[in-house]
């Protein structure tokens, strides 16, 4: 895999460190020094690339840029509680569970769950998104409010299907597996799903980086694998979406825009 990185000259050392890290993940990072990275530059260079500037490490495309900025989530974390968050009830976060988030995305749900007490393994197979998450975690570790939460998050570069299957073969057992598949396009309420998918530019860029390339991205295989290794499997879905892998859940928590489907494979 090859990726371009635009960066300003003062970030040369950071770029070299980034280039070395990507090389470990079999990604060739091609650097281009730019005098100033601003909105005009991004519009004139619409192809997907990484950007290293005063905002840190970002992914850019089509005039937009995004990053999984965990520090920006601090206001939400300060408001969050076990009683107020539906995800906390679904995942029983008050019991401080061992939890795998097998569909990492930007890591914001994992960040919230770790903040509320879970010990989270965050799985991501795409090397670009994985390094963006590593960068976000490194930045968060420097923040005094987030330091304790970061100790409860482990980033793992792996394909979730392979990782969960290996755990099943080893007989490893966890409290919770959390799934939030990115591509519920087969859902019946097509218009509602598409509208939700276009709400945030972050999700638009993620969909460009992670094109739908098969059933694994739909998460269907993950549900059956998760059932083999967890006391409960929690699936986050748009409120009107069909069930993941067409499997009716054992319980549901319903919100305005989304819901949490629960499966209790061990009764």
Q: Phi/psi at 247 (nearest 5 deg)?
A: -105, 120
Instruction: Round to whole Å and give the CA distance between 248 and 229.
Output: 19
What residues contact 172, with CB distance under 8 A and at least 6 apart?
229
| 54 known ligand binder | no
Residue 232 assigned ligand-binding role: no
Residue 64 burial (10 A CB sphere; 0-12, 13-18, 19+): middle
Residue 142 assigned to a binding site: no
Binding residues: 124-125, 180
Extract the annotated binding site for S-adenosyl-L-methionine.
Answer: 124-125, 180
């Amino acid at each position: 895999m090859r990726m371009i990185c635009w960066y300003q000259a003062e970030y040369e050392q950071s770029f070299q460190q980034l280039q070395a890290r990507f090389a470990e993940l079999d990604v060739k990072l091609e650097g281009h020094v730019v005098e100033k990275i601003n909105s005009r530059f991004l519009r004139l260079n619409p192809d997907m690339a990484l950007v290293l500037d005063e905002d840190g490490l970002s992914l850019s495309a089509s005039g937009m840029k995004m990053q999984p900025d965990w520090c920006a989530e601090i206001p939400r974390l300060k408001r969050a509680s076990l009683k107020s968050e539906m995800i906390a009830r679904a995942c029983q976060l008050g019991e401080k569970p061992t939890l795998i988030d097998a569909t990492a995305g930007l890591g914001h749900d994992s960040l919230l769950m770790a903040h509320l007490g879970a010990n989270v393994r965050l799985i991501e197979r795409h090397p670009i998104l994985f390094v963006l998450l590593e960068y976000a975690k490194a930045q968060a570790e420097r923040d005094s409010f987030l330091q304790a939460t970061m100790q409860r998050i482990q980033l793992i570069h792996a394909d979730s299907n392979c990782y969960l299957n290996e755990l099943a073969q080893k007989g490893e057992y966890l409290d919770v597996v959390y799934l939030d598949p990115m591509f519920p396009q087969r859902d019946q309420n097509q218009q509602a799903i598409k509208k939700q998918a276009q709400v945030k530019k972050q999700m638009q860029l993620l969909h460009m980086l992670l094109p739908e390339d098969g059933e694994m991205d739909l998460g269907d295989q993950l549900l059956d694998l998760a059932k083999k290794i967890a006391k409960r499997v929690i699936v986050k879905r748009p409120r009107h979406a069909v069930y993941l892998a067409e499997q009716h859940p054992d319980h549901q928590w319903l919100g305005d825009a989304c819901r949490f489907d629960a499966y209790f494979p061990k009764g």
